[in-house]
Structure 1
Amino acid sequence: MASELQTRVLRKITLRIVPFIMLLYFVAFIDRVNIGFASLTMNKDLGLSPAVYGFGAGIFFWGYFMFEVPSNIILHKVGARIWIARVMITWGLVSAAMAFVQGATSFYILRFLLGAAEAGFFPGIILYLSYWFPAQQRAAVTALFMAAAPLSTVLGSPLSGALLEMDGLLGFKGWQWLFVLEALPAVALGFVVLGYLTDRPEQAKWLADDERNWLVQTMTTENAQKAATASHSIWAGLADIRVLALSLVYFGTSAGLYTLGVWAPQIIKQFGLSALQVGFLNAVPPTVAVIAMILWARHSDRTGERTWHVVLACVLAAIGLGLAGMATGVVAVLMALTLVNIGISSSKPPLWSMPTMFLSGSAAAAGIATINSIGNLGGFVGPAMIGWIKEQTGSFVGGLYFVGGLLVLSAVLTLLLSRSQATRTEPATQPR
């Protein structure tokens, strides 16, 4: 009977929460990386060099870094409904304002403000899922949520390529139309969040009484069992050495992810393709990655293993970046970028299942935000270094090798963290 109740509750909360947060992340990710498609014509219109573009695309993450932790702590205090709505409305407005960039300075300022506006969204959702889903199901649910990132590339790439074809309509450039039209859903969904999202299981009137009681009791019991070893305070979450280690692991995966978002369209376009052709081809690698990511996360949940699921995925992405640097044709570069997409996407769900093994409450809010804010600086370093190296050498090769090296470092750090964690726990309770 309990098993039947558990199945029913998990199905209900999954159908209620996961598709909606996937939609939010889908829109967020499009607004975060549509700069990659805008650059196909915007850089020439505004006279932005590869180094300026790479730096400006990445400066988003400095705004993210500075406001991430306080934003997530506020979400934990005031609730996801109000705070996620605030995040979405403000980032939508800033993203639309990107259409009015005039040069390098305004480009830098608006990208920084976009990061500040969006700070707290991703770690806030990760924290939010920890309120609703038992730890054993969390990697698979996180994978479904995070599948929205590659899906946004699958569907957003052809859309962005088509919007660039609106060049000259009503006197606006194609890249200006791209920024404005792709920002509108974020603002609209921000208002939808206020009426749809439920902060905690205790408030879920859409669950039957027995379903709600089971979920509240299950999450309370899980938190109580973790209480003896988990860190709870904000400062504990910020100071835990394991948080720093995971931040550095995430740094490499973020460098890889935003290398794809910011530079993949230009890497593909160098073979003489149109913007619309680039849009369709750029959708191929993440299509494969979505399937691989979900299967890999389910395997991680089924086996209870996290470390090697992160390590192997990071190594695969590093190999893909190396092959992308050596590719001499469209087919070869697409195959290489597919490996990168699979590796980057598959590494993240098991990685994000690790922090809540040793953090809860305010410590989880602060710790998850710290991992995301420090880790996402890789989204600055990767694109910026590729832009700088390309300007110096005229090639993407050195930058791709650099980012591949960061992913190898992530794999090594994950193994070291696992060995360190093994010395802190008894074999019977050792998290993997």
Structure 2
Amino acid sequence: MHHTTAPITTATTTGNPQQAVMRKVSRRLLGFLFACFVLSFLDRINIGFAGLTMMGDLGLSSTQFGMATTLFYIAYIACGIPSNMALAKVGARKWIGSLMIAWGLASTATLFATDAHSLYLLRILVGITEAGFLPGVLLYLTFWFPAAYRARANALFMIAMPFTAGFGSALSGLILGLDGTWGLHGWQWLFLLEGMPSVIMGLVVFYYLNDKPQQAHWLNAQEKQHLQHALAADTPAATPTPEDKGPSLLREMLSPTVLMFSLVYFCLVNTLAMIAVWTPLIIKSISAAGSSNSTIGLLAMIPQVCTIIGMLVWGLHSDRTRERKWHLVLPMLVAAAGWMFTAYAGAPQVQLAGICMAATGSYTAMSIFWTTPDQAMSFKARAIGIAVINAFGNIGSALNPLVVGWLKDLTQSFTAGIVYATVLLVIGALLTFLLPLPSSTPKPTPNL
């Protein structure tokens, strides 16, 4: 893969050489990392579509199917923090490339599942190998983007989640139509065709990424200097003494602030897991009898299109108004209202609109959420702090499939599971008011 970027020869004439360099860094990194995240998230959520036929083929109950995703997230949570620590030592290029190859192979191997237990083992392997990607890239972005630019960079990167959910819905529905080709079930084709691209992209990572700006051959000496100065300005002037470094770092990682961010993210991630894992099956349950998997895939794409538009518009509004807290609370409440429409509205069209509200609100809230934690902790605690929040929050991802699957088997309806996600969203919105958000009135984020 060859990527060309026009050299910036007019940095001094733009009046802001730092912005010129940041535009160059953005063009080089964000599109590529976006593509990597698309593959990562696709391999995480494609089991939701595989479930349309896999559950019947393997004789799985909803509880067993939910357990497979729960075990994925348990492995994901357990390995996220050590993976981020390994990235800091090994370097992003080698570590992210290796992770992509490993999880691509593990995801592809899911086509060999024959029963619940083999599915559990394979999903645990995917969870172990994929755990370090998202917190690792969030950390990696701090190596390249100063704080004034990082909010927009995070948002542009994270749009990969609804994009993948939308694009992946349509793609997965079509792939399931290959059922019977060469003796493979449709869900087996799904894991094969959506897993192997991660392996290929992992090989490309070794060539394409640089660990730090000093190693970037595509930046000249002056551009590297501008970028290093901007990054250095983010480092607190006061450096703790060696004897205080360890204890103070541990205290900050486990401080009430980090724990509160983690709790809010836990409440939010529950509904993100609900959307990622159960949306195809929920849409199938409210669709006309006999709807094809391709039709369900196209219907599941609609909420994600709404979500992408919502993230872009709401994120831009948050930057322009320099406000974060209400821009986090309101989307969470919109998502909660959307789930209520999905659960209790009689008309399928209103229920689908409710799913659109739930998806748009929750993903938009997530993009705003990740603009705030790094500003509430010191630079030295940021690497592990991000991983702690991500890991703790994703306990919600582990619990949701199991709880919703159990409630579905118990009640023969998704209503109770939807109410469970809704209650947590409201609790998370209320807890947001307790967050110390110095970024409620941040400096305007420059254009990338």
Aligned to 1:6: 18
Moved runs in structure 1, 4+ residues, more than 6 A?
Answer: 427-430
Q: Matches of 2:408 and 2:355 in 1, distance apart? A: 18
Deviates more, 1:297-306 or 1:43-52: 297-306
Please tell me the residue identity of whatever aligns with 1:250: Y
Which residue of the other structure, out of 250, 254, 268, is the alignment partner of 1:235? 250
Q: CA deviation at 1:356?
A: 1.4
Which residue of the other structure, out of 252, 257, 274, is the alignment partner of 2:292? 274
Mapped contact 2:323–2:441 kept (Cα < 8 A): no
Please tell me the residue identity of whatever aligns with 2:124: F
Q: CA deviation at 1:196?
A: 0.5
Distance 1:60 1:168, change over 3 A: same
Please tell me the residue identity of whatever aligns with 2:342: A
Please give the per-residue CA displacement for 1:84-139, whole angstroms capped at 9, x wherever unaligned. 01111111011011111111111112112211111111011111111111212222
Please tell me the residue identity of whatever aligns with 1:199: D
Aligned to 1:391: 409
Q: CA deviation at 1:429?
A: 9.6
Q: CA deviation at 1:225?
A: 4.8
1:51 maps onto 2:63 in alignment: yes
Q: Matches of 1:182 and 1:330 in 2, distance apart? A: 30
Mapped contact 1:232–1:361 kept (Cα < 8 A): no
1:88 maps onto 2:100 in alignment: yes
Equivalent residue runs for 1:322-401 within 5 Å: 322-401=340-419
Aligned to 2:42: 30
Please give the per-residue CA displacement for 1:344-398, whole angstroms capped at 9, x wherever unaligned. 1111122112221133455211111111111011112222211111111111111
Please tell me the residue identity of whatever aligns with 1:263: W
1:406 maps onto 2:421 in alignment: no
Distance 1:350 1:152, change over 3 A: same
- Specify the SS of the correspondent of 2:60: coil
Aligned to 2:86: 74
Distance 1:429 1:93, change over 3 A: closer
Distance 1:316 1:227, change over 3 A: farther
Please give the per-residue CA displacement for 1:124-156, whole angstroms capped at 9, x wherever unaligned. 111111111121222221111010011112211
Aligned to 1:252: 267
Mapped contact 1:134–1:218 kept (Cα < 8 A): yes
- Specify the SS of the correspondent of 1:206: coil
Mapped contact 2:69–2:401 kept (Cα < 8 A): yes
Aligned to 1:315: 333
Aligned to 2:76: 64
Distance 1:188 1:41, change over 3 A: same
1:199 maps onto 2:215 in alignment: no
Aligned to 2:148: 136
Which residue of the other structure, out of 271, 286, 308, is the alignment partner of 1:290? 308
Please give the per-residue CA displacement for 1:63-91, whole angstroms capped at 9, x wherever unaligned. 01111111011111221111101111111
Aligned to 1:98: 110
Aligned to 1:209: 221
Deviates more, 1:133-142 or 1:114-123: 133-142
Which residue of the other structure, out of 172, 190, 193, is the alignment partner of 1:178? 190
Please tell me the residue identity of whatever aligns with 1:196: Y
Mapped contact 1:136–1:301 kept (Cα < 8 A): no
Mapped contact 1:237–1:366 kept (Cα < 8 A): no
> Please, what TM-score do these two structures have when normalized by structure 1?
0.93
Mapped contact 2:236–2:379 kept (Cα < 8 A): no
Mapped contact 1:256–1:403 kept (Cα < 8 A): yes
Please give the per-residue CA displacement for 1:150-190, whole angstroms capped at 9, x wherever unaligned. 11122111110111111111111000010011001100000
Which residue of the other structure, out of 224, 234, 244, is the alignment partner of 1:222? 234
Please tell me the residue identity of whatever aligns with 1:93: L
Distance 1:151 1:204, change over 3 A: same
Aligned to 2:434: 416
Please tell me the residue identity of whatever aligns with 2:332: C
Which residue of the other structure, out of 173, 177, 200, is the alignment partner of 1:161? 173
Please give the per-residue CA displacement for 1:261-315, whole angstroms capped at 9, x wherever unaligned. 1110011112222100011110111111112112222222333322221111111
Q: Matches of 1:303 and 1:207 in 2, distance apart? A: 33
Please tell me the residue identity of whatever aligns with 1:415: F
> Please, what TM-score do these two structures have when normalized by structure 2?
0.90
- Specify the SS of the correspondent of 1:276: helix
In structure 2, stretches of 5+ residues that fail to align are: 1-11, 444-448
Please tell me the residue identity of whatever aligns with 1:267: I
Aligned to 1:122: 134
Mapped contact 1:61–1:377 kept (Cα < 8 A): yes
Please tell me the residue identity of whatever aligns with 1:406: L
Aligned alpha-carbon RMSD (Å):
2.1
Q: Matches of 1:428 and 1:301 in 2, distance apart? A: 9
1:305 maps onto 2:323 in alignment: yes
In structure 1, stretches of 5+ residues that fail to align are: none
Distance 1:398 1:77, change over 3 A: same
